[in-house]
Chains A and B, each alone.
Chain A
Amino acid sequence: MKVIYTDSLVIGGGLAGLRVAIAAKQRGYESIILSLIPAKRSHSAAAQGGMQASLGACVKGNGDDEDVHFSDTVKGSDWGCDQDVARMFVNTAPKAIRQLSAWGVPWSRVQGGDRDVIINGEKVTITENHEAQGLITARDFGGTKKWRTCFTSDGTGHTMLYAMDNKAIQMEIPVHERKEAIALIHEDGVCHGAVVRDLITGELIAYVAKATTIATGGYGRLYSVSTNAVISEGIGTAIALETGVATLGNMEAVQFHPTAIVPVGILTTEGCRGDGGLLLDKDGYRFMPDYEPEKKELASRDVVSRRMTEHMRKGKGVSSRYGDHLWLDITLLGRKHIEKNLREVKEICEYFLGIDPVKEYIPVRPTQHYSMGGVRTRATGESPTLKGLFSAGEAACWDMHGFNRLGGNSVAETVVAGMIVGEYVADHCAANALKISTSTIEHFMKAEEKKITELLVRDYGENPFELKVAMQKIMMDKVGIFRNGEDLAQAVEELKVLNQRAKNIALRNKISSSNPELVEAIRVPKMIKMAQCVAYGAQLRTESRGAHAREDYPERNDRDWLKRTLTTWTDDSADLPEVSYEDLDVMKMELPPGSRGYGVDNTVHHPDTPKRLSQVEEIQKANPSANRHEMQELLNPLTIPEKFKGKNERIGRGYK
């Protein structure tokens, strides 16, 4: 039995995982990162659009600060987020971006003087302040009051991931590539590491650690068409679920991005609309202002995706052999802008559609994009039920996104969570010794070995590729943008059947080393369980909030549903997870529930909402001289690692 010991085991080499490992190593703890692929190929590289941080240096960002970012984030989440976490996040994001700047990200910078931009379909000249020359600039993104999304030309995620991985290489942090964590090792409510399969040799290795962090990204590939990388299959989240101890949060919260190309689902960034691109229907008509007169194309993602779907249902879609779609028009931005700031989009159009977006419209349709749900954690990043298990990034439900995350807030989350959770991981390493018996490790290793042997010896059975396609189709057709009780009930029943069939997978290629069919056979049963968590959670949640839109329950219902869904899977022979709920405490909210400002407000309010609103008012009245930092402390006192407590400086404003 091969066992590798370390202080901090990080499963996942994307932005979040790398940053957690860096934090622990900076504090002197040995860290090992596991990844299915070389770290620099992680899905984080695909983020083209940008990272939100309220630097307020560009002229359209002037007046921005943590408070504005906080309010955008909470509203974006449809009040489903954890406001303590959202607060920690917005206060730390400016530090994160500045640190990355020192580590080598070539952020695009403010150029003083006049420049032409497209706003609301019109060419407008804006004048950047000369005093801000050379500071990090930002672009407009959906659902934000200010231009806050910092970027590097068209390759934000790529440059962030390269800088982060390079930092890890500099710090001599090993990344064990082509390794897949397939089970967690745990005992008496404490996590001790993971059983890991070498994807080349097939060998099983036990990685034993004081702290284990899941940073494995999202679960977009539960759906047939997704903007996500093909490895975003949620396996890290699934192994937490399979402990029966760790809980998953808000699994039904799945975001659809308005503009992925048809049919393959590759994303064209929100930057297209942020920079002035428009959505048009089959008549070339710009329809978004009719639905959302204020924010138009730049309403929050979930809203735009639903409006597009509604419009297509009215027969206004462009029909094609792949079903209906709409047009994204960026021709008005001009060649120069597209070739510099949206070049990746141009390449994608050329290679995958054979069109030139400088001259032609892009066929787009809302497509699965982001997983708000994931491993439920405290604000420290630790699982509330499984000690020593941490999670960060898209894999986690740290819960700053609630039921809808804002564009640009995700790569920002990966880095900020990496910094904060990384400190708590280090604290955990400091306070705990490695205490685990060999027999426990052996028990978990044997269990996985047995499963693999069974797969390899079974003569007849199910084809894992077919099961996966069937699952993805159920999710696509019945657990999509608009949901209803009937479809969801069917989805749950059909997934139960698949869950049974998945116990009987047989392989055609019976070798234990590098074997893509075996990889699939190990993953598919886990993915079906994850899909069931999403579908069942969606069925039970009889309201609409953020990206979870029920046609049969169109209103947001704070009275009954201002709570987070918690999912566990304790009984391995069951076909359904256990679901419970955790209330969000209105009386502690810095920003009590209100309207997001889209469409008609039909919210069923929580009885505590008016109470908290008047309480907040009283606090404000009682402290007329409090500045915004003091007011935040009064309304939402924070515990945050010492390192990140400082106020953030802004041009023209200092630390105010």
Chain B
Amino acid sequence: MSDQARILKFQIFRYNPLKPGDKPRMVTYEVTEAPGMTIFIALNEIREEQDPSLQFDFVCRAGICGSCGMVVNGRPDLACRTLTSKFADGEIKLLPLPGFELIGDLSVNTGKFMRSMSERVESWIHDTTADEVNFDKLEERMDPDLADKIYELERCVECGCCVSACATKRMRPDFLSAVGFMRLARYTLDPRDKRTDEEYYEIMGDDDGVFGCMTLLGCEDYCPKDLPHQTQIAYLRRKMALVR
């Protein structure tokens, strides 16, 4: 790395729907790059020093919580763990994730979407005895490899990148999307969840569910947690095709 600091050029989408008369536009900001600078650091610098009204969402700033999904030079990604040094020409264009309600600038309401996704797929263990479990006794055993496999599918951080990258979602507003499929795949694998295939079919057995997916795999390409969307969607489709 040369010691001559670069000047980064950020082009940022600005629009505050709650501000009367405000219009969507792109605004350019310049920031002097520092070693190890991430988009998180740069955006905070812009907010503190240039424009205190700039809206964006960061919580963990460590790539863990899924708050900071945005479109970075055309790619939905977690902004907090994106180093500015990655961009050779020093130009970085930031847009809010499409497919979600815009709160303002780069901030979108993924939370609302994810809660309703969870309600729709009934994202919990279906077992009428789960509440009566005697927790003084040894826990139910689980095969160690199976526990690991379930965890692999539970690593989703609800960032919404897969939703934004999905062409089907753009055409079908009620499309469940990859994040929902991944959640369902997680529960179908879990022996603690007693749902039958017929019950799962009720949730995803139509064109807003797995049968609507065109397997173009934007989801797999952009998922920052590298979840195995392709294999899981294929698995759910096979499973659901057998139901009726």
What distance in Å separates the Cβ of B79 from its nearest Cβ neighbour in chain A?
12
A41 touches B148 (CB 8 A): no
CA distance A170 to B61 in the complex (A): 29
Which B residues lie within 8 Å of A509 (CB)? 51-53
Interface residues of B in 144-198 (CB under 8 A from A): 144, 147-148, 150-151, 154-155, 157-158, 190, 192-193
Given A104-B190, A109-B142, also A649-B151 (CB < 8 A) = no
A200 touches B190 (CB 8 A): no
B23 at the interface (CB under 8 A from A): no
A169 touches B123 (CB 8 A): yes
B122 at the interface (CB under 8 A from A): yes
Binds B, one of A158-166, A397-405, A441-449, A470-478: A158-166
A152 at the interface (CB under 8 A from B): yes
A352 touches B36 (CB 8 A): yes
| The one of B52, B143, B151 that contacts A153, using a Cβ cutoff of 8 Å | B151
Binds A, one of B88-96, B113-121, B205-213, B233-241: B113-121
State the majority secondary structure of interface residues on B: loop
Binds A, one of B4-12, B25-33, B63-71: B63-71
B144 touches A108 (CB 8 A): yes
| The one of B16, B142, B154 that contacts A134, using a Cβ cutoff of 8 Å | B142
- Chain A: interface residue count, which band? 35 or more
CA distance A285 to B35 in the complex (A): 28
Mark interface residues in A24-42 (1 if CB within 8 Å of B CB, else 0): 0010000000000110111
B83 touches A166 (CB 8 A): no
Given A40-B158, A41-B66, also A135-B18 (CB < 8 A) = no
- Chain B: interface residue count, which band? 35 or more
| The one of B53, B118, B130, B157 that contacts A515, using a Cβ cutoff of 8 Å | B53
Interface residues of B in 7-53 (CB under 8 A from A): 16, 18-19, 35-36, 38, 47-48, 51-53
B140 touches A38 (CB 8 A): no
Which of B35, B38, B60, B115 has the most chain A CB atoms closer than 10 A to its own CB?
Answer: B60
CA distance A520 to B130 in the complex (A): 43
A110 touches B144 (CB 8 A): yes
B119 touches A169 (CB 8 A): yes
Interface residues of A in 267-296 (CB under 8 A from B): 267
CA distance A229 to B148 in the complex (A): 27
Which B residues lie within 8 Å of A507 (CB)? 52
Which B residues lie within 8 Å of A647 (CB)? 136
Binds B, one of A95-103, A531-539, A576-584, A597-605: A95-103
B52 touches A648 (CB 8 A): no
What distance in Å separates the Cβ of B62 from its nearest Cβ neighbour in chain A?
5
CA distance A133 to B52 in the complex (A): 56
Chain B positions near chain A (C-beta within 8 angstroms): 16, 18-19, 35-36, 38, 47-48, 51-55, 57-67, 81-83, 103-104, 107, 110-112, 114-115, 118-119, 122-125, 127, 130-131, 133, 135-144, 147-148, 150-151, 154-155, 157-158, 190, 192-193
The 7 closest A-B pairs by CB, nearest first: A38-B111, A134-B141, A517-B52, A646-B136, A109-B144, A95-B135, A106-B150
